[in-house]
Amino acid sequence: MKKNMNMTPRSGPGSSSGGGGGGGRTRVGKYELGRTMGEGNFAKVKFARDSATGESVAIKVLDKQKLLRHKMIGQIKREISTMKLIRHPNVIRMYEVMASKTKIYIVMELVTGGELFDKIARNGRLKEDEARKYFQQLICAVDYCHSRGVFHRDLKPENLLLDDGGVLKVSDFGLSALPQQLREDGLLHTTCGTPNYVAPEVIQDKGYDGAKADLWSCGVILYVLMAGYLPFEDSNLISLYKKIFKANFTCPPWFSTSTTKLIKRILEPNPAIRITTPEVIESAWFKKGYKPPLFLEENVSLDDVNAIFNEEELDPENLVVEQREEGHVAPVTMNAFELISTAQGLNLKNLFEKHMGLVKRKTRFTSKCSANEIISKIEQAAVPLGFEVKKNNNKLKIQGEKTGRKGHLSVTTEIFEIVPSLNMVELRKSGGDTLEFHKFYKNLSNGLKDVIWKAEFLNEETNGAST
């Protein structure tokens, strides 16, 4: 495992010990769990620290019963299998998988540089050479995945992370496909992905080549990197699909002739004549300054993964136990590096020149009020909006009473201490529709004017499809 030297093994997001002498430490095996980095309907991703080495990692925690109830076992097993099969410097590394009687723990490489999407949101479009560098890493990773029979099927800037050295890492294989999913015609048949990035043949639901569909998404990503906005966009989904079917887009005037030519060959709506990934790699535009990464090939076994999902074969002695020391928990204290890496969004100035059709799934504000005051004010502001609030130390679970476009909106709120007189409050969408989350935050913040000291910049103009 590569040592992450930038995450210090002290109290903060990388550890679970509370600042100011609080308790509440949680351990799983040799790992000490810390703050929640991300949260979805079926999993949480937490900072964690190897108690023996002090190394920081990320652990994805999944609830077995919830997976069974929603018939998600197959998809999660596929994601874990995919992550273990792929050993490439531009793909998030999975170190190990553990299981308890009720949960599955996926231990992964911790990447601290944020999403590539955030880099564009902060700085605007990239220059050609920088965009090419990221595109080369993306294509290199995707080509390797395809050589292993793995197709991602949801490539977009939000699923492309950067490490602290600026190296691109492909993440989120939740919609990936393995060779076993190919039908007799040799094609995939599941319609999935994010509308603005999905290939036309995927939408048509007549079967598609996973490699060619992934390459289309890579072409959209290259366009976004260099333009700062999407090639295909419309607030009406049917109109958006019509644009995708016809490849109805234009390249901005600052694109070089060779860039425009390559993108048009990638965003060819007919997959039969679309350029292939090997042909992209051999193109003159791609080859400029390209240095393929050097890494060792590894033989990978999926026996342990299969055993985790087979209760009869899982040796009880190999089950881990989640141990928690109960007690009052003070707000987690952040050190300087953790504050900067966590709060990059506080200084957003440049938005996309056109609507991205993508919105942020979390937001933050700072407050000079105490944790108890903040919790009380949020509860007072949320309840009249039709939300139920559940408190757990310095965390709040806020859930809408009404069913929205994607079920009930759920928001997780957590408080972190920057210095004794200043707290940072993070609100994350943990369920429901992202656009509804933005509307909720806007209404909530109106009732928190005497609490908020400085708020993160929000994109209030987004009209596109939610994530």
Task: Write down the pLDDT at residue 173.
Answer: 60
Task: Write down the pLDDT at residue 287.
Answer: 94
Task: Write down the pLDDT at residue 205.
Answer: 66
Residue 28, both tokens:
């799983």
Task: Write down the pLDDT at residue 2.
Answer: 35
CATH of residue 39: 3.30.200.20
Q: What is the pLDDT of residues 221-255, one digit of tens each?
A: 999 999 998 999 887 888 888 899 899 999 999 99
In our burial notation (b when 16+ CB lie closer than 10 A, e otherwise), range 200-239 reads bbbbeeeebbbbbbbbbbbbbbbbbbbbbbbbbbbeeeee
The answer on 151 and 27 residing in a single domain is no
What are residue 279's phi and psi, to 5 degrees? Answer: -70, -35
Mean pLDDT of 110-126: 83
Answer yes or no: 154 catalytic: yes
Task: Write down the pLDDT at residue 331.
Answer: 61
The answer on 233 and 96 residing in a single domain is no
pLDDT higher than threshold 70 for residue 380: yes
Quick check: 154 and 192 in contact, CB under 8 A?
Answer: yes
The answer on 120 and 82 residing in a single domain is no
Mean pLDDT of 378-386: 90
Instruction: Choose the catalytic residue: 154, 163, 209, 214.
Output: 154
Q: What would the DSSP string read from start to end of 72-139?
A: -HHHHHHHHHHHHH---TTBPPEEEEEE-SSEEEEEE----S-BHHHHHHHH-SPPHHHHHHHHHHHH
Between 465 and 300, the higher pLDDT residue: 300
Q: What angle do CA 50, 55, 56 make, to 5 degrees?
A: 90
The per-residue pLDDT of the chain, averaged, comes to 75
Between 207 and 168, the higher pLDDT residue: 168
Domain that holds residue 145: 116-287
The answer on 58 and 136 residing in a single domain is no
pLDDT higher than threshold 70 for residue 422: yes
Between 355 and 425, the higher pLDDT residue: 425
β-partners of residue 151 are 177
The answer on 136 and 2 residing in a single domain is no
Beta strands in 264-406 (DSSP E): 322-324, 332-333, 362-367, 387-392, 395-404
3-state secondary structure of 306: helix
Q: What would the DSSP string read from start to end of 360-376?
A: -SEEEEEESS-HHHHHH
The answer on 158 and 100 residing in a single domain is no
Number of structural domains in the chain: 3
Rounded to a whole number of angstroms, the CA Rg of the chain reads 22
Task: Write down the pLDDT at residue 114.
Answer: 80
Task: Write down the pLDDT at residue 279.
Answer: 95
Q: Confidence band (pLDDT; 50, 70, 90) for 264?
A: very high
Q: What is the pLDDT of residues 340-368, one digit of tens each?
A: 444 433 332 222 333 333 345 678 888 88
Residue 278, both tokens:
């090997």
Q: Confidence band (pLDDT; 50, 70, 90) for 168?
A: very high
Residue 106, both tokens:
């996926």
Q: Which amino acid makes up residue 230?
A: L
Establish if 255 belongs to a structural domain.
Answer: yes
pLDDT higher than threshold 60 for residue 3: no
The answer on 9 and 54 residing in a single domain is yes
Given 258, 287, 316, which residue is the final one in a domain?
Answer: 287
Place of tokens 């999935």: 192
Determine how many CB atoms are found less than 10 A away from the CB of residue 75: 16
The answer on 186 and 167 residing in a single domain is yes
Establish if 320 belongs to a structural domain.
Answer: no
Establish if 244 belongs to a structural domain.
Answer: yes
Q: What is the pLDDT of residues 176-223, one digit of tens each?
A: 333 333 334 343 334 334 678 888 888 776 777 788 988 999 999 999
H-assigned helices in 150-234: 200-204, 210-227
Of 130-144, 187-201, 285-299, which has the strongest mean pLDDT?
A: 130-144
Torsion of CA 127, 133, 138, 143, to 10 degrees: 130
| Window from 319-323, 333-337, 390-394 with minimum mean pLDDT | 333-337
DSSP 21: G
Residue 197, both tokens:
């990035």
Task: Write down the pLDDT at residue 133.
Answer: 96
Mean pLDDT of 33-56: 81
pLDDT higher than threshold 90 for residue 431: no
Task: Write down the pLDDT at residue 102.
Answer: 82
The answer on 79 and 46 residing in a single domain is yes
pTM for the structure as a whole:
0.62
The answer on 229 and 131 residing in a single domain is yes
pLDDT higher than threshold 80 for residue 132: yes
Task: Write down the pLDDT at residue 219.
Answer: 95
| Window from 57-66, 169-178, 403-412 with minimum mean pLDDT | 169-178
Say how far apart CA 47 and CA 119 lie, in whole Å.
22
Say how far apart CA 2 and CA 379 lie, in whole Å.
42
Establish if 254 belongs to a structural domain.
Answer: yes
| Window from 171-175, 204-208, 378-382 with minimum mean pLDDT | 171-175
The answer on 344 and 276 residing in a single domain is no
pLDDT higher than threshold 60 for residue 22: no
The answer on 179 and 80 residing in a single domain is no
pLDDT higher than threshold 80 for residue 273: yes
Say how far apart CA 35 and CA 357 lie, in whole Å.
29
pLDDT higher than threshold 60 for residue 388: yes
Cα 375 to Cα 339, 385, 434, 452: the distances in Å are 21, 16, 23, 12
Helix (H) or strand (E) holding 182: none
Between strands 407-419 and 332-333, the pairing is parallel
Q: What would the DSSP string read from start to end of 392-421?
A: ETTEEEEEEEEEEBTEEEEEEEEEEEEETT
Say how far apart CA 286 and CA 317 lie, in whole Å.
51
Determine how many CB atoms are found less than 10 A away from the CB of residue 431: 19
CATH of residue 206: 1.10.510.10
Q: pLDDT above 70 covers what percent of the chain?
A: 73
Task: Write down the pLDDT at residue 367.
Answer: 85
